[in-house]
């Protein structure tokens, strides 16, 4: 045996140990946050925009809380790639959220969506911590200031956030691992319809909602959460960033823009959406963030071909977006729906939308599963 060979043999255990370690590192699963972000990156680079629907599997236009149903599934044979949910009510220890959905059911649906390879996102229409008024109660315009400056209110606010954090922490899959979710609090803050809206807070106090919320979420160990920022329509980058809390608080740059006024409003919508999404894409690129169309839709879809003629061209033009979410199909308000349902005249158009290469549904998201996603979930 040559000296050289002997040296190699002597070094073998070390080499094996090293390569073993390397292999282990390489195949170790991503954290839930990393998995979610990687999935959005895959969509973005492959010019796929995932389709999402609020409360998709918990009720539809003419049914409520049945298991296994979805208006989208019943039209196109696939689930949305993104399920949107709302945490409103968790802060008051309610068992049902503000739209009557049991939180226990939402938890199960989040896990089911994760198991099918899709994404979950949460908004939060929370009651204020001063007088318990709902998200739309703007009669007291000092709520945000009180949260920021009145120690007792600050503590009540922290407690609200702790309850949200505990809910996120409780979202675990069948292997006991936490499920990564998107959280999109303080949405549409540049409007004046929520107590955290533009005219009801100073810039600094509004930012406190974000920074303190995030501090408490981190303190509670809610490390499975990806954060989305989503103002309503804006005209400029400056306006978009007006109350931006800072890069360290936000992972996804989003925007909420609805098509208002039926067919007569189509140009206004196209213009506002092209402008807003252009801003979101540009800033996301510059800041190394993900981009999304966090809420949109045409209530009642009272225009022919809306999905393929209006929404799809926006998605094709702004293909770096990770996803687009349309709002809910309310079971108790017949005109309050944003996705077609079986029998609706736009169901056929929606099927064409689904078959277009740009749009991604749950099975597409499953195909994009990040390389190091846990074996159990691939």
Interaction site with ligand BMA (CB under 6 A): 86, 98-99, 125, 327-328, 330
Nearer to ligand BMA, 302 or 356 (CB): 302
Nearest CA to 331 out of 51, 52, 118, 57 is that of 57
Q: How is 302-316 classified by DSSP, letter by letter?
A: -STTIIIIIIHHHHH
Helix 203-219 crosses helix 151-169 at what angle (to 10 degrees)? 50
- 53, β-bridge pairs: 83, 326
Total Cβ atoms within 10 A of residue 148: 20
Nearer to ligand BMA, 35 or 296 (CB): 296
Residue with structure tokens 């790639």? 81
Nearer to ligand BMA, 137 or 212 (CB): 137
Looking only at the bridges linking them, the beta strands covering 59-60 and 321-326 are unpaired
Residue with structure tokens 């740059």? 253
Nearer to ligand BMA, 196 or 368 (CB): 196
Rounded distance, CA 10 to CA 298, Å? 71
Please state the closest distance from residue 84 (CB atom) to ligand BMA, in A: 9
Please state the closest distance from residue 99 (CB atom) to ligand BMA, in A: 5
Please state the closest distance from residue 151 (CB atom) to ligand BMA, in A: 31
Q: Which residues contact 253 (CB under 8 A, 6 or more apart)?
A: 228, 229, 280, 283, 284, 287, 289, 290, 291, 292
Q: Which residues contact 178 (CB under 8 A, 6 or more apart)?
A: 32, 168, 169, 171, 172, 223, 224
User: Residue 75: is it exposed, middle or buried by C-beta count within 10 angstroms (0-12/13-18/19+)?
Assistant: buried
Nearer to ligand BMA, 216 or 325 (CB): 325
Helices first, then strands: H and E counts in the chain:
12, 11
Nearest CA to 90 out of 104, 80, 76 is that of 104
Nearer to ligand BMA, 41 or 299 (CB): 299
Nearer to ligand BMA, 75 or 330 (CB): 330
Looking only at the bridges linking them, the beta strands covering 59-60 and 63-64 are antiparallel
Residue with structure tokens 């199960």? 108
Please state the closest distance from residue 268 (CB atom) to ligand BMA, in A: 19
Please state the closest distance from residue 179 (CB atom) to ligand BMA, in A: 21
Please state the closest distance from residue 54 (CB atom) to ligand BMA, in A: 7
- 120, β-bridge pairs: 83
Please state the closest distance from residue 152 (CB atom) to ligand BMA, in A: 28
Please state the closest distance from residue 78 (CB atom) to ligand BMA, in A: 24
- Hey, what are 165's tokens? 């954090």
Nearer to ligand BMA, 177 or 256 (CB): 256
Please state the closest distance from residue 347 (CB atom) to ligand BMA, in A: 21
Rounded distance, CA 339 to CA 329, Å? 7
Please state the closest distance from residue 326 (CB atom) to ligand BMA, in A: 11
Nearer to ligand BMA, 330 or 347 (CB): 330
- Hey, what are 246's tokens? 């800072």
Nearer to ligand BMA, 295 or 364 (CB): 295
């Amino acid at each position: 045996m040559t000296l050289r060979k002997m040296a190699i043999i002597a070094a073998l255990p070390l080499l094996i140990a090293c390569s073993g370690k390397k292999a282990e590192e390489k195949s170790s699963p991503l954290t839930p946050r990393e998995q979610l972000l990687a999935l959005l990156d895959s969509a973005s680079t492959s010019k796929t925009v995932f389709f999402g629907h609020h409360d998709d599997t918990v009720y539809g236009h003419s049914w409520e809380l049945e298991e296994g149903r979805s208006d989208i599934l019943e039209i196109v044979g696939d689930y949305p790639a993104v399920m949107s949910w709302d945490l409103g009510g968790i802060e008051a220890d309610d068992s049902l959220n503000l739209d009557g959905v049991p939180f226990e059911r939402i938890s199960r649906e989040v896990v089911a969506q994760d198991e099918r390879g899709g994404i979950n996102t949460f908004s939060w229409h929370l009651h204020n911590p001063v007088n318990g008024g709902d998200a739309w109660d703007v009669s007291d315009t000092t709520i945000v200031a009180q949260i920021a400056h009145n120690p007792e209110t600050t503590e009540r606010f922290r407690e609200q956030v702790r309850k949200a954090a505990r809910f996120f922490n409780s979202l675990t899959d069948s292997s006991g691992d936490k499920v990564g979710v998107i959280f999109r609090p303080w949405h549409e803050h540049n409007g004046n319809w929520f107590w955290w809206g533009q005219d009801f807070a100073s810039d600094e106090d509004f930012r406190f909602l974000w920074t303190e919320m995030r501090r408490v979420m981190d303190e509670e160990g809610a490390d499975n959460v990806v954060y989305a920022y989503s103002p309503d329509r804006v005209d400029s980058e400056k306006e978009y960033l007006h109350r931006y809390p800072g890069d360290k608080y936000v992972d996804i740059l989003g925007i909420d823009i609805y098509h208002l006024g039926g067919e007569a409003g189509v140009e206004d919508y196209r213009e506002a959406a092209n402008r807003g999404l252009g801003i979101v894409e540009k800033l996301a690129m510059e800041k190394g963030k993900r981009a999304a169309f966090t809420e949109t839709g045409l209530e009642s879809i009272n225009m022919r071909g809306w999905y393929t003629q209006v929404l799809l061209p926006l998605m094709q033009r702004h293909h770096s977006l990770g996803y687009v979410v349309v709002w809910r199909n309310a079971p108790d308000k017949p005109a309050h729906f944003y996705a077609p349902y079986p029998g609706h005249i736009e169901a056929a158009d929606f099927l064409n939308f689904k078959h277009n290469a740009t749009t991604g549904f749950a099975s597409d998201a499953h195909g994009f599963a990040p390389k190091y996603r846990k074996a159990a979930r691939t």
